[in-house]
Amino acid sequence: MRIATWNVNSLTARLARVEEWIEYAQPDILCMQETKVSDGAFPAMPFSALGYETVSHGDGRWNGVAIASRVGMSDAQHGFDNDADEQGCRLVAATCGGIRVHSLYVPNGRAVDSEFYVAKLEWLEELRHYLERNTKVDDPVVVAGDFNVAPDDRDVWDPTEVSGATHVTEPERAALRALEDWGLVDAFRTVYDQAGLYSWWDYRAGNFHKHKGMRIDLLMLSRPLAERTRYALIDRNARKGRQPSDHAPLFVDVAD
C-alpha cells in the first residue's frame, strides 16, 4: 500500500498538479494539508473520477486538511474529539483499508516564545492525548502531514542559520519524540538515514535551487506498519515547474 502526504498550499490553485501527481504516483491514500477550501467547496468530483473517496475539514480560509483514499473510507472524524480545536481546521481522520489515517497541519508557531509558539506546543501535546484516547499503539495507525518541525539537524540545510527560530527548537522536537515514545515511527527514516533530504523550501531567494530546505512533512506510522515499510520517496519533481507548492509530496510503500 502506498501512503502519501502533501501540503498542497491551496487545492484550488494546485488541483491540476495534484491530479497529475496522483495519476503517475498512484497513492492508495493521500493526506493533504493547507487545502484552503471549505468542505462545501471541496473538489470531490475530480478525485472521484480518479477512483478516490475523500473527506475534508476546511473553512475556506487558511489551513484545511483532507484525505483521499482508493481503498475505502469510513468513520471520518473532523478535528479533536473535545474543545481543544481552537487553532482552526488542522486535523481530519478516517479509516482507510483497515488503517486509521490522520491528516494534520501543525500550527507554524511564528516566533519562539510568542503566544503562537506556546499554542503550537499545546496543540502537539493535545495530539498525543487524542491518539491515546482514540487509538492503540499496536493498531495500524498513520499520522501524516506538515508537522512544521524538523526532527533533528539532519533535516535542516544549515542548523546554524536557523538556530533559535521555530521548527528546530528543543521543545518542538521533544513533542515529536513524545509521539515516538507513545509508539509512532518516522517511516522515512526507516529507509533513509542521510542528511540533506528535504520536503519544504521557502519560495524566496531561490532556496529550492540552492538546496536550502527542511524536512518538516512526516509520515508517522505505528510500529506494525513501520516494520513493513519497504520504500520511501520525497518527490522533488513535484516541487518543480509552474506554480508549485512550496512542499514536495512524500510517500512510503508498506508491504501487505
Query: How far apart are alpha carbons 244 and 239 in whole angstroms?
Result: 5
Which pLDDT value is given to residue 157?
97
* 24: number of Cβ within 10 Å: 9
Q: Is the dihedral of CA 136, 140, 145, 151 positive or negative?
A: positive
Structural domains for the chain = 2-254 (3.60.10.10)
Residue 103: strand, helix, or coil:
strand
Residue 59: strand, helix, or coil:
strand
105 is catalytic: yes
Averaged pLDDT, 103-120: 96
- Least confident piece of the model among 49-63, 83-97, 173-187: 83-97
Selecting among 105, 117, 130, 198, the annotated active-site residue is 105
Task: State the pLDDT confidence band at 158, using cuts at 50, 70 and 90.
Answer: very high
Which pLDDT value is given to residue 84?
63
Selecting among 52, 117, 130, 146, the annotated active-site residue is 146
Percent pLDDT > 70 in the chain is: 99
pLDDT digits (tens, 9 = 90+) for 133-151: 999 999 999 999 999 999 9
> For 44, which DSSP code?
H
pLDDT digits (tens, 9 = 90+) for 231-247: 999 999 999 999 999 99
Averaged pLDDT, 192-214: 95
117 is catalytic: no
**82 vs 26, more confident:** 26
174 has pLDDT over 80: yes
Q: What's the grid cell of residue 92?
A: 481530519
* Mean pLDDT over each residue of the chain, to the nearest integer: 96
